[in-house]
Amino acid sequence: MSVPNETSVAMVGLGSMGLGMAGTLATKGFSVTGFDLSPARLEAAAALGVRPAADLAEALPAARFIVFSLPTARDVAGVVEAHLPLIGSRAGGRVIVVDTSTSEPGVSRDLAARLDAAGHGFLDAPVSGGPAGAAAGKLAMMIGGAEGDLALARPVIEALAAHILHVGPSGAGNVAKLVNNLLVAAHMITTAEGLKLAAAAGVEPEAVLRVLNAASGKTFLSEVHFPTWIMSGRFDSGFSMGLMKKDVRLAEALARESGVELPLTAEAARLWEESAGALADTDDFTRMGAFKPAGR
């Protein structure tokens, strides 16, 4: 991959995913400026070769590319709306904003229209692969937005992702990610219940898990998450209960907006919300694989 002359990237949000992405870009020859509200995260980014910014007024104006990794769509929209005049003010030309957050399709479409009117591009580009994938540049990225903006952003995206999937126009990447995370949430519950059934019937869950992973019942959850983080007792995948519950709620909202009835989605959402009394939003979401709801 050849890195273009204009390699200035502003990374907004240096959490578990953003920090890894910023470090990956820095090691691949990009000039990366990072911003986060946490001084500790800025310090960690500096150790990876990322220049820490004191505020967004320092991070945004000279960046050719702006990559967001923030918790919610409203966080991203708030930054863009409050700082739109700063974007590209010293970079010149069309700046491409790449939002890797799991967001709301409608918010992404509005941001794309607003940025396009200002002469800039916007891609909704949520990612899968966890902190390890971010740090290794091996993410899967599902992208919504214009072909031309994707072409301009491709050097940055190729540095971050091993799998680049252009799903469609603005918002399409968000839809694909919400469907993906909805299935992850459901698979977590169904796999846990299947292994619970095995144990109740007198068969070791580990033995049945080996069968699942060699047969048609296999999922990424059974193959990776259960042996790595759940049955090992580690519970440290890097993705929180709060974020997964948020994504399930967004999927439910999308179903209502789209006029479709999804009864299993509703039941999965109920079970995830039911966990709130025992599992904190800050807990790793893999703890749901060992969670036992009251009366079950």
3-state secondary structure of 168: strand
125 and 158, same structural domain? yes
163 and 18, same structural domain? yes
| Domain final position from 120, 145, 169 | 169
Whether residue 296 lies inside any domain: the answer is no
Task: Name the token pair of 253.
Answer: 């909202």
Q: What percent of the chain has pLDDT over 70?
A: 97
Please name which of 289, 267, 288 lies closest in space to residue 279, comparing C-alpha atoms.
Answer: 288
Asked if the model's pLDDT at residue 235 lies above 80, the reply is yes
209's CB contacts (< 8 A; 6+ apart) are 195, 222, 226, 227, 231
- The mean per-residue pLDDT over the stretch 98-112 comes to 95
- The mean per-residue pLDDT over the stretch 230-255 comes to 95
What pLDDT is attached to residue 221? Answer: 97
Contact predicate 49/23, CB 8 Å: yes
What pLDDT is attached to residue 293? Answer: 65
What pLDDT is attached to residue 6? Answer: 72
Residue 182 sits in a domain of what CATH number? 1.10.1040.10
Whether residue 116 lies inside any domain: the answer is yes
Q: Number of folded domains in the chain?
A: 2
Domain that holds residue 196: 175-290
Q: Is pLDDT larger for residue 217 or for residue 291?
A: 217
pTM of the model: 0.91
Dump pLDDT digits (tens) for 116-171.
Answer: 999 999 999 999 999 999 999 999 999 999 999 999 999 999 999 999 999 999 99
| Domain final position from 145, 169, 193 | 169
Whether residue 158 lies inside any domain: the answer is yes
157 and 66, same structural domain? yes
Whether residue 295 lies inside any domain: the answer is no
What pLDDT is attached to residue 242? Answer: 94
What pLDDT is attached to residue 91? Answer: 86
**Average pLDDT of the chain to the nearest whole number:** 94
CA distance 273 to 43: 35
Alpha helices in 119-240 (DSSP H): 130-136, 147-160, 172-200, 205-212, 220
Whether residue 2 lies inside any domain: the answer is no
What pLDDT is attached to residue 292? Answer: 76
Residues in the chain: 296
Asked if the model's pLDDT at residue 4 lies above 60, the reply is no
What pLDDT is attached to residue 14? Answer: 98
Asked if the model's pLDDT at residue 286 lies above 70, the reply is yes
Q: Band of the pLDDT at 1, cuts 50, 70, 90? A: very low
| Domain final position from 122, 150, 169 | 169
Whether residue 138 lies inside any domain: the answer is yes
Q: Band of the pLDDT at 3, cuts 50, 70, 90? A: very low
Active site positions, annotated: 177
